[in-house]
Structure 1
Amino acid sequence: MGDEAGPELTANVQRALRVMEAAGAHAAEVPVQQLAREAGLPLATVQRLLKALARDGYLTELDDGAFTLFPDRSSLEQLDRVRPVLTSLRDELSAAVYLTLYEEGEIRVMEIADSAQAPRVDRWVGFQDAGHATALGKSVLREMDGKARAEYFSRHSLTGLTPRTITRREELLRQLDSSPAAPVVMDREEYARGTTCVAVPVYSGDQIGSLGISFRSDRMYRTSRVRAGLLSSAMRVTMGLSLPD
């Protein structure tokens, strides 16, 4: 099976590189149709690759459906300020660290700090479509008012990703509003089997986001240590994101 998958994997990598080379040839955003022409690939193939590249942070998908290899400079400067905090938290807790922000009605992963010793969770479903199933998403939803939540749920279905995923809105809201460990939120294998995630809210000015970690569910963690590390780091991240450029 490995030999059969090898050539196809190589071909996929080659196609992805062609798409990124096409995107990198432009200083601004590029429509998908133009990227397909310049990469010499079918439109459907390019659309699939673009979604995967954007999901993994190699490209940025803009509101109008175009893509760019160059994110907004102010966002880059913000991330530069908080990246050492994420790395420090990763090393302190030996867990992959994630930073999200709620942008244009979507929960977007802005940065991931992982390593061979602290691998990231397999993002088999984009986090922006799984806010109800991740601690990162639930942390953002917990901070929203009723109107913002209703608007979010009008566009996102509560899909069952594992047997533990909460798929009833009323049950999810009860959990968010009655969390005894607030502002710490958890998901226990609700997004991916075998993975637990813990998250707390962060802010960029008045923009809500979340800071979280993921780890194997069979690992034992001192709850007080995780809580203290996340809350302390969240304060530093909020300061870094909220400073003027």
Structure 2
Amino acid sequence: MAPTGPTLIGSVRRALALLELVAEHHELTAKRLSRMTGVPLATTYHLLRTLVHDGHLRHERGTFRLGPAAPRLAGPGHGHGTRLPEWLRVLGEELDAPVSYAVMDGDEVELVIRVDAPGRPAAEEWAEFRATAHAHALGQCLLAQLDPEARRAYLARRPVRRLTPRTVPDEEALMRRLAGIRRGAPVVEREEYMLGTVCGAVPITVGGVHSAVGFSLPVDEEDRLEETALRLRKRLERALTAHAFTVLT
């Protein structure tokens, strides 16, 4: 996977910007948030309604304040508004693995950011991330969150192709696999995207946006793949009431 900057994509970036401003100023109106972020007022209202619905904000007497699922990405004691790259860095140290965050941005699978762990660089993106969602854990995790019709539409544009001898062989095999993934369960793949690398991912949502956090390991550490995926899921579950990330269960 190729490194990207810390800029978030689309709705995720705008939603987090709103959360950070509310955390900093304690309470703000929708109009002021729109002016401060440069996001059109109609879009600001839409994002705010979603964040209120998910419990990240409260709407009281015309202003917005942090809700019970306050946007503290790094957990208790780290304060409000911690940025995603720092939270992923801490997570990577805990898992002893490089971690990545991806979203379903409209009808595309997008890699938002990748953060290396100390002494553990992530696997290089040797085949385009968008076009190979069928092969890597992050992509499979995102596709599993879609309904079957949306999956078919995606695969019509981004057809399954063999990247390694272990890649899922065709669309029907992939559809069967995705249908068998329990909602909210970790997804793992073994050398399907790149020989010598195994990966895992866990689904999350921010303001209703389909997203996922994933990690990679060298194949000689495959024996800890499942355990690391479960640790990642538990780590996200512990964050439910404190973070802007809500694990899908």
Identify the TM-score tier after normalising by the shorter chain.
0.5 to 0.7
Q: CA 1:75/1:57 → structure 2, altered by over 3 Å: closer, same or farther?
A: farther
- Which of 129, 132, 135 does residue 133 from structure 1 map onto? 135
What is the distance in 2 between the residues matched to 1:170 and 1:200? Answer: 23
Moved more, 176-185 or 114-123: 176-185
TM-score, length basis structure 1:
0.64
Q: CA deviation at 1:115?
A: 3.6
Matched, 1:146 2:148: yes
Matched, 1:111 2:113: yes
CA contact (8 A) 1:183 1:201 kept: yes
The residue identity in structure 2 corresponding to 1:56 is P
| Aligned residues between the structures | 182
Q: CA deviation at 1:141?
A: 0.9
Aligned to 1:15: none
Matched, 1:240 2:244: yes
Among all aligned residue pairs of Structure 1 and Structure 2, give the percentage whose two residues are the same amino acid: 29
Q: CA deviation at 1:130?
A: 0.8
- Which of 169, 190, 198 does residue 200 from structure 2 map onto? 198
Cα-to-partner distance string for 1:177-198 (whole Å, 9 max, x where unaligned): 2247961111110000000001
Cα-to-partner distance string for 1:108-130 (whole Å, 9 max, x where unaligned): 11111104511110101121111
1:16-55, aligned counterparts within 5 Å?
A: none
TM-score, length basis structure 2:
0.63
What is the distance in 1 between the residues matched to 2:142 and 2:129? Answer: 12
Moved more, 203-212 or 232-241: 232-241
Moved more, 226-235 or 90-99: 226-235
1:115-194, aligned counterparts within 5 Å?
A: 115-179=117-181, 183-194=185-196
Q: CA 1:192/1:224 → structure 2, altered by over 3 Å: closer, same or farther?
A: closer
Structure number with the bigger relative contact order (C-alpha 8 A, sep ≥ 6) is 2
Runs of 5+ in structure 2 lacking a partner?
21-70, 74-81
Q: CA deviation at 1:144?
A: 0.8
Q: CA deviation at 1:72?
A: 5.5
The residue identity in structure 2 corresponding to 1:201 is P
Q: CA 1:170/1:220 → structure 2, altered by over 3 Å: closer, same or farther?
A: closer
What is the distance in 2 between the residues matched to 1:171 and 1:103? Answer: 25
